[in-house]
Structure formats: C-alpha cells, structure tokens
Structure 1
Amino acid sequence: MNKHEPELIHTEAYSVLVERTSRRKTASIKVDEGEVIIIVPKLLQQDKIDKILVDKRSWIVEKLALYQATSPATIREYVSGESLPYLGRNYRLKVLTGDLTPTKLLNGRITVTVPEPSTQSHYVRRALVKWYKRHADKKIREKVWRYESLVGVETGVVRTKEFKSRWGSCTPYGDLEFNWVIVMAPNRVVDYVVVHELCHLIHHDHSPQFWKEVERVMPDYKEHKDWLREYGHGLSI
C-alpha cells in the first residue's frame, strides 16, 4: 500500500479507517460522527489490529447506534448530483468508486473517490470536509493579506478551524482565526468576515467607531452582514 493512501478495514457492519503514527505506543479507537477510526503505532502488525477490532466490536456498534439515534437529520445524502456551494457558486458532487484519493474540483464538479459510496457516506463527508478546510485555509489567507493594508493593520498567525457559533476571532497580537465553513458563503460575504476581524485589531468591540471602520473599507458591508445573519446557519457539510 502507498504510504500516502488511507488504510481501510471492511467488516459486515462498518468500515474502519486505520491511522498509523510514530507518536503512539498503544492503539486507540474512536467513533467520530459515524466514522470508526483506529489510531495505532506505525509498525503494528495487521493481525494485532484485527484482534483489537474484534475485542471492541460491541463497543463500536453501541457508539455507532448512539450516533445514529442522536445525530440531527441532514439534508445531504452525499451522492452524485447534489449541489455544494463554494464562494458563491454551486458545484455538483461527483462520487466515484475506488481507493480513497484527494478530493478535486474538476470540470465544475467536486469529485470524491471512496471505496463503497452507497454504504459509506461518512467517508464522502470526511473527504468533502478536508477539501473545504484546505481551500478555506488558502482563500482566507489570501483575503487577509489583501485587506490588511486597506485596513491599516499587521496580522500575526492566520488559521482556520471549526467554531460552533462564530465566524472568526482575533487577539490583540494580530492572530486571526476563521471558521472554515464560511467559504460556503458568497465570495463577498467571506470578504466581509475577513474585514470584520481585521477591523477588530483597531477596535476590540462593536462600537460605532468599529462599524465606521468596517464601512470605510467595505461600504456595502451591511448587505453581506444581513446575508450572514439570514442564511449563515444553513452553511454546513
């Protein structure tokens, strides 16, 4: 197996993603949003991994059942033809069968390749999340670099992460964090979120002076602020 290719173990009830790492001396299993992942030492033999999975089968089944019972209903089925937003455009999802490979935007379609698409929608979702995070990191950094001179500030570390109820945050030291989900919004809305956080490096509150600064850089900011308030809760993968 190629060292960059994800390793999968298939059972009758579920599939397991194997993550090998030189930083671990023992194995651990987690069920993350319906996906079973076993993290093992880099050189652990396959038969030992299989034994761990057999021993933990009841626990895994219980966790998967709990996830299915408590997870909110999703509007996505993760099948070919579904529409996925990215920076103001909608792209069709194309799901192919094969070894796990990096997700790509090709010919106007976001193409995901997974072993068994009909029974492993969580792998499609996982691949899409990785794709969005990767592109969010690149696009948001580009926007920060473009707007920081217009705002008149210098930034420190710029990173993307997942927030539960906010689109971004900043520190007095110039470090900025953005919710990667924002790249599912229209392009100018993403610009607004970037400008908003950059202006917080000047005014650390939402005072009239803060909003005047935002308006100076982005005169039409209210339109994008209103879009985010009305539709932002629907941005999800």
Structure 2
Amino acid sequence: MSLTLERLAVDELTFEVRRSAQRKTLEITLDRGGELIIAAPPGIGQEVLAAFVREKRFWLYAKMAEKESRLQPLEAKEFVSGAGFPYLGRSYRLLLVDAQEVPLKLEAGRFKLRRSLASEGRRYFVHWYSSHARTWLRTRVRGWARRMALQPDGIEVRDLGFRWGSCGRGGKLNFHWAVMLMPVGIVDYVIVHELAHLEEPNHTPAFWQRVSRAMPDYGQRKAWLAEHGGRHVSL
C-alpha cells in the first residue's frame, strides 16, 4: 500500500509535513538534502502550519543561507607539512613525522601526524577533534549550565550534518565535532543555544529571551556563525 506524502506550500517554500501522535509542538527542520520538513501533531490544520511558517520566515531564510554557504566548494585540504589546521579559533601548522606513539597529536604549537598516515589524514583529524571535544565540551557545558540553572543529561559528539548542535529527547545535548575548529566565543553560543532548548523546545520569543539573558551579545555570535561557520568544516 502506497502512502501519500503531505505537502505544505507557503509562498515560494514547500514543506513535507510529518505528523506524529507523540509530538506536542511544531518544528521546522532543513535536512541534509535541502528538504524543508515541518513536524506536527495530528489534527493541526494547514492554515495553522502556514501561519507558523510565516512566523519563522526570517529564521528559515537564515538557515537556508547558512546551508548554502556551507555547501560552497572548499579548497581540498592537503595533509602536508606546513598546512594550517584550526583548533578553537587558532591555526596550527602540521608537521609530518616518521614515528610517534600516537597517530596524531598537538604538541609545542604544532599538529604532528605520522607520515605514513597522511593519505588518511582527514580520518585521524576528525577522530582527534571528536575525542578532544568530548572532554572540552563537558567542562564548558557544565559551566554554562550552572550559570543558566539548567541540567542537561550528558553530551554526545558526532557528525550532525548541517547542524552545529541539537537537544535530544531526555535532555541530552549533541554537538558536531567541527565546533572545535571555531573560536571559543562561537562554541559558547552553540552551547547556550542548545541549553536554552532544555526549557524552550522551539525558537519562540521566550527561547531567544532565554538565550539573551545568558549571552546578551548572542546576535553578533549568531551572525558570525551563519556567515563564517561553513568555512570551518574544510577537512
């Protein structure tokens, strides 16, 4: 038996509508392939969905512009001595070495990678960023959570596609490993953004007020992330 997809057209935007009896709120997402999806409880009419979309129009266009920026062709990274690799907003030169106890490490202001592994350099850098993110983010999240009087149920670090972070069911926070390439102040914005979702699941005015109370200059950081974030996933 074939299932008919529910679609919603709002001006020049078209959405796939996904309904779930477990869902209590409306949510818009932009998936990997650029498809706009609106998640909704059963029984919510399309006129209500359309009004929700129009309310989120500015946010939607910002997310679409951010995604387009991240899809721009990036110069292929070469894993050769002298190449620069970012970590928390600073650039460190790579040095290929003949032997060391681990495949990749940051030591004395340089990334050092075994020369024999250079052809798989991306894999080792992603692993290094991911493993360091788990420790660094755990401490950083704890500090912000204390300031915001919130308590997440742990963190996960993985490839989130076009999202820098997400707040999962049960209060677990997820972060893209590539946040570790960006300046600390921008990573802090991602952390505060996801922590605020523990209280406000959607991007309502109350959500942004919650973010603003913790980080009054969040707008500047948010704009930086939208404009420059994609350039930091260049491996």
Compute the TM-score of the two structures, normalised by the length of structure 2: 0.65
> How is 1:5-154 mapped onto 2 (pairs within 5 angstroms)?
74-98=75-99, 101-115=102-116, 121-154=118-151
- Count, aligned residues: 162
1:188 aligns to what?
185
| CA–CA separation in structure 2 for the residues paired with 1:135 and 1:123 | 19
**Cα distance per residue 1:46-99 (max 9 Å; x no partner):** xxxxxxxxxxxxxxxxxxxxxxxxxx7743111111111111111111111237
Q: For each residue in 1:106-148, what CA deviation from the matched residue of structure 2 results, as whole angstroms up to 9, or x when unmatched?
A: 1110111132xxxx64322222111111111111111111111
Higher relative contact order (CA closer than 8 Å, sequence separation 6+): 2
**Runs of 5+ in structure 2 lacking a partner?**
1-72
1:173 to 170, 173, 181: 170
Among the aligned pairs, what percent are the same residue? 38
TM-score where L is the length of structure 1: 0.64
Aligned to 2:201: 204
**For structure 1, which segment, 217-226 or 93-102, has the greater mean C-alpha deviation from structure 2 after superposition?**
93-102
Q: Partner of 1:77: helix, strand, or coil? A: coil
Q: Is the 8 A contact 1:92 1:109 kept in 2?
A: yes
Note closer, same or farther for the CA distance 1:73–1:195 as it changes in structure 2 (3 Å cut).
Answer: closer
Q: How many Å separate the matches in 2 of 1:129 and 1:97?
A: 21
The AA in structure 2 aligned to 1:195 is V
Where 2:103 maps in the other structure, the secondary structure is strand
Structure 1 counterpart SS, 2:190: helix
User: What are the superposed Cα offsets for residues 178-208 of structure 1, whole Å, 9 maximum, x if unpaired?
Assistant: 0010110111000000010000001111111
Does the C-alpha gap of structure 1 residues 97 and 125 become closer, same or farther in structure 2, counting only changes over 3 Å?
farther
Q: What letter is aligned with 1:222?
A: G
Structure 2 CA distance for partners of 1:149 and 1:73, relative to 1, 3 Å: closer
Residue 20 of structure 1 corresponds to which residue in structure 2?
A: none
Runs of 5+ unmatched residues, structure 1: 1-71
